[in-house]
Amino acid sequence: MNLNGTATPDNPVYKELLDFFTPILALRRAYTDALRSTASPLKIDAEVVANRMRDGTPLLDKTALGCDYTVMKHHFLEMLALIAEKTPPATEEIQAMIEKDAVFESLVRNTLQGLPPDGKHAQTLRFLLEETVNPLLAIQAGFLADTPAFKEWNRGSCPVCGGKPLMGELSGEEGKKFLVCSACRTRWPFGRIQCAGCGTQDHAQVSLLVIEGDPVHSIEICDTCKTYLKIIDCRQAGRKIDIDMENLTTLHLDIIARGKGYTNTHLYMMDA
Ligand SMILES: [Zn+2]
Ligand SMILES: [Zn+2]
């Protein structure tokens, strides 16, 4: 998928993107419901929660998660069929690969351990595996949502799964900042002027790029670690926020930030 430097919300590239992602999001919702019907929360007692928040250890032990590989593989193959049009050479090879004994299970376990696939079609595989594994994390995260101890966390990675933030949100009367996890969608409070990449609170290093004509979105940039984070001001939005749609329809902000030399780690492209 090519996004050139002229992408804006009016650019036809968004129609293409939304046409591509809308069925993916619908499939993700149906899959999450299917997984949720058999999920039970991992038990974590309050003392352990408090200790982990203090020590900086995410709450979820991802290696201990039960996986229904039948449901997961079915979803993976449905996703593969959906993207077949975009990546025809990859599709058949990936299908042949995961039909080999225990390959799918091993890829899922590696993804849960934070080991991304490598080799041929690595980016496409990563996308498919994250779409397969993240809903599992999101279900557990739902059991832990709004844990009061999240306010002790004060880190730029997710307190539940350790993932990187997808976007930041400003909400409440005072415009408090929250980060939203790119993997499990946990939302946790974070310093208003603080970089999620390196943690600095140096006002000379962390600043906001304001987008002309758009009071809802901005880009937080850090000159210490050269990363950026897209921010949505929920007070200005005046509507219920769907973070996935916000992320998709603000790809022009990623292009602006990248054009200025800032990076983040979770915007990926499919293999050509
Ligand atoms: Zn997370
Ligand atoms: Zn930084």
Ligand at minimal distance from the CA of 134 is: 1
Per the structure, the complete domain to which residue 140 belongs is given by 13-144
Domain's final residue, options 84, 109, 144: 144
- Closest ligand to C-alpha of residue 205 is 2
At 3 the pLDDT is: 42
d(CA 258, ligand 2 centre) in Å:
15
Specify if 5 maps to a domain. no
Bridge partners (DSSP) listed for residue 207: 221
Residue 222 counted as domain residue: yes
221, 209: one domain: yes
In a domain, 7, yes or no: no
Q: Could you tell me if residue 46 is inside a domain?
A: yes
**Ligand number nearest to the C-alpha of 201:** 2
Ligand lying closest to the C-alpha of residue 193: 2
Ligand 2 centroid to 97 CA: how many Å?
Answer: 39
- Predicted structure pTM score: 0.90
Q: What is the rounded distance in angstroms from the CA atom of residue 186 to the CA atom of residue 141? A: 6
Q: Which amino acid would we find at residue 78?
A: E
Position 195 scores a pLDDT of: 97
Which of these three, 102, 129, 144, is where a domain ends? 144
Which bound ligand lies closest to the C-alpha atom of 136? 1
CATH number, residue 178: 3.90.1670.10
> 34: buried, middle or exposed (CB in 10 Å: 19+, 13-18, 0-12)?
middle
Question: Residue 162: which region, alpha, beta or left (left: phi > 0; alpha: psi -120 to 50)?
Answer: left
228 lies in some domain: yes
Weakly modelled stretches of the chain, pLDDT under 50: 1-7, 269-272
| pLDDT confidence of residue 85 | 79
pLDDT of res. 137: 96
Check residue 1 and give its pLDDT: 37
Residue 111, pLDDT score: 95
User: What is the 5 CA–ligand 1 centroid distance (Å)?
Assistant: 30
Distance CA 222, CA 264 (A): 11
Among 110, 144, 178, the domain boundary falls at: 144
pLDDT of residue 57: 95
Give the total number of structural domains in the chain.
2
Domain match, 26 and 111 both: yes
- Considering the domain architecture, whether residues 120 and 239 belong to the same structural domain is answered as no
Does residue 201 sit in the same domain as residue 252? yes
